[in-house]
Amino acid sequence: MRPPRPEDGLLLPFAEPEEAPALDMEVTGAGSGGSRVILDKDTDVSTLEFRWIDGGLVTIPKYGIETEDHVTYYYTVREGDPLSAQVKAVGASDLRRGADLDVHIESVCVMRSDLENFYLSSEIKVLDGGREFFSRSWEKTIPRDLV
């Protein structure tokens, strides 16, 4: 933070915050969430599965829009091997409006590491009316720099 300056007294105060009125929304499906731990005794791999509370199926009646989101995180590590740790996020989003709009988005992101690097991989797929019209995947390696 910078130190105060004499010219700061000439500044006008901030106005009250503004926001648009909230949309009228209806939750027509209850969102689910929760977590569980999976212990694989054969491989000594432990996984924490965390399902984000997604809010369920939300309808915006004024526009006839329905939206729904789901995300599940998987935190995995093998006993005695901290470099085996990884986190994986799997998401899905839907946006619908009658017969005019039916978009489904799927995403998967994974982060892991070894002694030298962090590794990120991501993929996204977008479907319109059940037909894929966009997909992309990419990977990034980031040096650990003593981290």
Question: How would you write the chain as a 3-class SS string?
Answer: CCCCCHHHHHCCCCCCCCCCCCCCCEECCCCCCEEEEEEECCCCEEEEEEECCCCCCEEECCCCEEEEEEEEEEEEEECCEEEEEEEEEEEEEEEEECECEEEEEEEEEEEEECCCEEEEEEEEEEEECCEEEEEEEEEEEEECCCC
pLDDT at site 56: 82
Convert the pLDDT of each residue in 99-120 to its tens digit: 899 999 999 999 999 999 999 9
pLDDT band per the 50, 70, 90 thresholds, residue 7: very high
Judge residue 49's burial from the number of C-beta atoms within 10 Å of its C-beta, 0-12 exposed, 13-18 middle, 19 or more buried. Answer: middle
With respect to residue 6, please indicate whether it lies within any of the assigned structural domains: no
pLDDT at site 52: 84
Q: Measured over all CA atoms, what is the biggest interatomic distance in the chain, rounded to whole angstroms?
A: 70
The better pLDDT of the pair 136, 52 is held by 136
**Which one, of 97, 49, 98, lies nearest residue 72 by Cα?**
49
- What region, left, alpha or beta, does residue 55 occupy, with left being phi > 0 and alpha being psi -120 to 50 degrees? left
With respect to residue 42, please indicate whether it lies within any of the assigned structural domains: yes
Convert the pLDDT of each residue in 69-81 to its tens digit: 999 999 999 999 9
Mean pLDDT of the residues in the chain: 93
With respect to residue 46, please indicate whether it lies within any of the assigned structural domains: yes
pLDDT at site 83: 95
The residue segments making up the domain with residue 139 are 23-143
Total tally of structural domains belonging to the chain: 1
With respect to residue 18, please indicate whether it lies within any of the assigned structural domains: no
Mean pLDDT to the nearest integer, 57-73: 92
With respect to residue 12, please indicate whether it lies within any of the assigned structural domains: no
With respect to residue 80, please indicate whether it lies within any of the assigned structural domains: yes
The whole model's pTM is what? 0.79
With respect to residue 117, please indicate whether it lies within any of the assigned structural domains: yes
Residue 29 has pLDDT above 90, yes or no: no
With respect to residue 27, please indicate whether it lies within any of the assigned structural domains: yes
CA 32 – CA 35 distance, rounded (Å):
10
